[in-house]
Each structure stands twice: as C-alpha cells, then as structure tokens.
Amino acid sequence: MRGKSTNVAIFGAAILALSLAGPALAADAPVAVKAPIMKAAAPPPSPIYQLAFGISVSNDYNFRGVSQSNRDWSFGGYAEGRYNSPYGQWYLGVAGWRIDWPGLSTPYGFTDPSAEVDFFGGWRHTWHKASVDIGLIYYYYPGETFNGFTSDSDFWEIYWKGGYAVSDKLSVGANLFYSPDVLNYSETFASAAYGGFSAKASGIYGSLTAAYTFWQKDDWKSVVSGELGHWWLKGTGFTAGGYVDPDYTYWNAGLAFTYKTVTLDLRYHGTSQSVAECTSFLLSAVGNPSNKWCNDAYIATLKFDMTLPN
C-alpha cells in the first residue's frame, strides 16, 4: 500500500510541477506577437568619391537631330569624377566622339576635325522626387583647317536640367541650354577664309523629356522614352549671305533594353528643318550632300556604363 501511495504522490507532484512550469515555458517560447519588429536596413550612404565611365558605338552620331558623323557609324566614351557631399554632387568629366565633317577633298567643303571632345562639369542634387543638374560644357574640335587656314568651331554652353519622379516607373524632365556664340561663328566669319566680316549666332535650346519603365525583372529593364525640344538660333552668323533663320524643332523617341551595365538603345530622331534651313545651319550650299544630315534617322546605340565603387 505504501509503495502505491508513494507512486501516486510522485505522479501527482510531477503533474503539479508541469502545470506550474507550463506558463514559464510558454513565456520563454518565441511567439509571433512578441517578436521584435524588423525594420528594413537603410541603404548605405553614397561613397564620397566616385568614378563613372562608359563607352558606346552607334550607326550615327546625332546632335539635336543633325548628324555629326556624315550618316556613318561612330564610337565614343566618357569618364566623370564625382564628389558627393550633403549638399549635392559635384562632378567633372570629359567625353569624346568620332565625327566626320568632310573637308575640301570632297564636295562637302567643311573643316575636318579629328574628333569632338566635350569637357563638362557642374552640380547635381536630389530632393525626394525632384532633382536638378546645373553645369557647363565646352565642345572642342581638334585639328580643324579650312582653305589652308586654321579654323575654330569650339564653343560652350551653360545648362540647367530638372527632373521629377512621378512614380517608380515614370519620370519627366525639362532642359535648358544657352550659348552666346554657337559653333564660334564670331571667329569663323572673322577669319580670312570667310572674308573677314563680323558675325555671331547665339542659341537657346529647351526641351521636355519623359521616360517610362514598362518591364523590369532582376537585372533586366526596358524603358520607353522621348524628348521634344526647340533650338532658337539668332544672329548674323546664320543669316549672312542670304541664309534663312534656321530655328527648328527636334524630337526623339525610342526603346532602351538594359541588362546590368549594358544598354541597347533603338531611337528615332526627327527635325522640322527644311533643306534651306539645314543649309543655313551648316553654312553649306544648296545641293551640298551634307543637307541630308538634318533628315529623320533611326539610330541604334550599344553602350556600357559603370560607376565605381558601385
């Protein structure tokens, strides 16, 4: 009898112990409602110094609707140093492109620089969905000659670019460029090659842009984008010798397919320029083969872009 009572007592004590321990064990167990709320990790801050660079190849080098490579292929590249501060990003860079302005050995009769080299610098900043980019670009054309004389088409522009992210997929922008002397006509016309008379042509270019990401997965992205702009060109440089005022509207639209750092861009470029306006803009002659440089064009570009550290 004693052994049975002892067993019962032990069993009862065990049940009591488990019943008392139960709440404690339950409290120690991980419960969903008591788990700490995990916050998404904040993105790492941008490095103070960065280097952006890239290369590209296309079937034509087009500048605001006008071919600069005689409707032939072109390649180029750029490098841009960046300094990121709490007040925005300061940058300085250089870009180069293959161009083809045929010289006097052909019916074209232009200067024949070896390339276009662009030096640029400025400041960018982003406030939530809005962004701004203000800077200066200098267009340099090395190795120019005309009729045996050294020529100089170099010129500069200041620019303002604004952007706004309407959503994760849609962004819009506006651009404004100003040059007091487009293609340096004041010096070109004053040279002995052109008879030594004074001329100058200022230019203001403004445009609106939009881009929409219609498909994105992992490292792939597809974007449709376009630009509509107008170049106001004023002064005696373009109208000297009976030329007409070559103000014109420019537009482009296309698709870009990106995989990581490689992009294929397929784009249509068009202008409102007539043959007379194109002749005036290029300071060529009626019937010059260059007049086709202002015609509409389909251009394919393959480019590679990278930023370090990425």
- Is the pLDDT at 305 greater than 70? The verdict is yes
DSSP string, 142-156: TT-EETTEE----EE
pLDDT score for 139: 98
Count of CB atoms within 10 A of residue 296's CB? 10
Percentage of the chain lying above the pLDDT 70 cut: 78
pLDDT score for 281: 87
Mean pLDDT, range 64-83, rounded to an integer: 97
111: left (phi over 0), alpha (psi -120 to 50) or beta: beta
Q: How far apart are CA 122 and CA 114, in angstroms?
A: 26
In single-letter form, the type of residue at position 84 comes to N
Q: Per-residue pLDDT tens for 152-162?
A: 899 999 999 99
pLDDT score for 185: 76
In this prediction, residue 213 has a pLDDT band, given cuts at 50, 70 and 90, of very high
In this prediction, residue 271 has a pLDDT band, given cuts at 50, 70 and 90, of very high
Q: Which helix (H) or strand (E) holds 217?
A: strand 201-217
Which three-class secondary structure state does DSSP give residue 258?
strand
Q: Which helix (H) or strand (E) holds 186?
A: helix 185-190
pLDDT score for 20: 38
Q: How far apart are CA 177 and CA 160, in angstroms?
A: 7
pLDDT score for 4: 41
In this prediction, residue 149 has a pLDDT band, given cuts at 50, 70 and 90, of low
Q: How far apart are CA 139 and CA 81, in angstroms?
A: 18
pLDDT score for 206: 98
Q: How far apart are CA 149 and CA 266, in angstroms?
A: 40
In this prediction, residue 53 has a pLDDT band, given cuts at 50, 70 and 90, of very high
In this prediction, residue 106 has a pLDDT band, given cuts at 50, 70 and 90, of confident
In this prediction, residue 17 has a pLDDT band, given cuts at 50, 70 and 90, of very low
In this prediction, residue 150 has a pLDDT band, given cuts at 50, 70 and 90, of low
The 3-class secondary structure across 274-290, one letter per residue, is: CHHHHHHHHCCCCCCHH
More confident residue, 149 or 6: 149
**Most confident stretch, 94-108, 180-194, 235-249:** 94-108
Q: Is 233 exposed, middle or buried (0-12, 13-18, 19+ CB in 10 A)?
A: buried
Among 208, 277, 212, 223, residue whose Cα is nearest residue 247: 277
Contact call for residues 221 and 258 (beta carbons, < 8 A): yes
Which three-class secondary structure state does DSSP give residue 208?
strand
pLDDT score for 15: 38
- Is the pLDDT at 212 greater than 70? The verdict is yes
In this prediction, residue 199 has a pLDDT band, given cuts at 50, 70 and 90, of low
